[in-house]
C-alpha cells in the first residue's frame, strides 16, 4: 500500500520510463480509414430529384472520406476510446446514406464524435441545408477530429 500511495508533501511520483520497449507492440498504431459512400440524391419538395447543391454545382455520386486514427486493436485505445473507429459508426453511416433526406434542413449534434466519421458524413450529405455540430470531451480526440474535418473539407 505504501508503494501505491503518496502524501501531499511527497507530491506525485514521476513516471518512470522503461528501459525496454515491447518488441511485439505495433510500431505504427495509426491508420487512415478510407470510406466510400454512394450519395443518393434526395427528393425536393416538388417531388423532383434535387441534383444540385446550394451553390448550383452538380452533386457528386460518391462521397469519399479519409479518417485518421488509431487501429481498432491498438493498445492506445485503452487510454481513449474516441481515437479509433467502431463498427457501430459504419452502420450509422450506412443508415444516414440510405435516409439522407431525413438530414435535410435539420440541426445535427454529434456528442462524443471521436474521429468524426458520422458528423463529417452528415455534413457532406446535407452541406447547405443543415447545421452540423461535432463535439468530443477528450482533447486528444479533438486534435484528431480537427485533422479529419480539415482533411475532408470540400472546396
DSSP conformation class of 70: E
pLDDT of residue 16: 52
pLDDT of residue 69: 93
pLDDT of residue 55: 36
Q: Cell numbers of 5, please?
A: 500511495
Q: What is the mean pLDDT of each run of 10 residues along the chain (155 residues)?
A: 49 55 73 88 48 44 93 74 89 95 94 96 90 94 96 83
pLDDT of residue 22: 65
- Determine the Cα–Cα distance for residues 124 and 114; give it in Å rounded to an integer: 17
DSSP conformation class of 81: G
pLDDT of residue 60: 61
Which residues, 6+ apart, have CB-to-CB distance to 37 below 8 Å?
62, 63, 65, 93, 94, 97, 121
Amino acid at each position: 500500500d505504501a508503494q501505491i500511495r503518496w502524501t501531499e508533501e511527497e507530491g506525485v511520483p514521476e513516471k518512470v520510463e522503461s528501459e525496454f520497449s515491447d518488441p511485439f507492440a505495433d510500431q505504427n498504431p495509426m491508420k487512415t480509414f478510407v470510406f466510400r459512400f454512394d450519395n443518393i440524391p434526395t427528393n425536393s419538395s416538388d417531388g423532383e430529384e434535387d441534383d444540385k447543391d446550394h451553390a448550383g454545382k452538380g452533386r457528386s455520386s460518391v462521397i469519399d472520406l479519409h479518417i485518421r486514427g488509431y487501429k481498432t486493436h491498438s493498445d492506445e485505445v485503452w487510454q481513449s476510446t474516441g481515437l479509433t473507429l467502431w463498427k457501430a459508426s459504419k452502420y450509422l453511416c450506412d443508415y444516414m446514406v440510405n435516409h439522407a433526406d431525413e438530414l435535410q434542413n435539420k440541426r445535427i449534434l454529434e456528442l462524443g464524435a471521436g474521429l468524426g466519421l458520422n458528423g463529417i458524413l452528415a455534413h457532406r450529405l446535407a452541406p447547405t441545408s443543415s447545421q452540423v455540430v461535432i463535439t468530443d470531451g477528450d482533447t486528444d480526440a479533438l486534435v484528431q477530429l480537427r485533422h479529419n474535418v480539415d482533411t475532408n473539407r470540400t472546396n
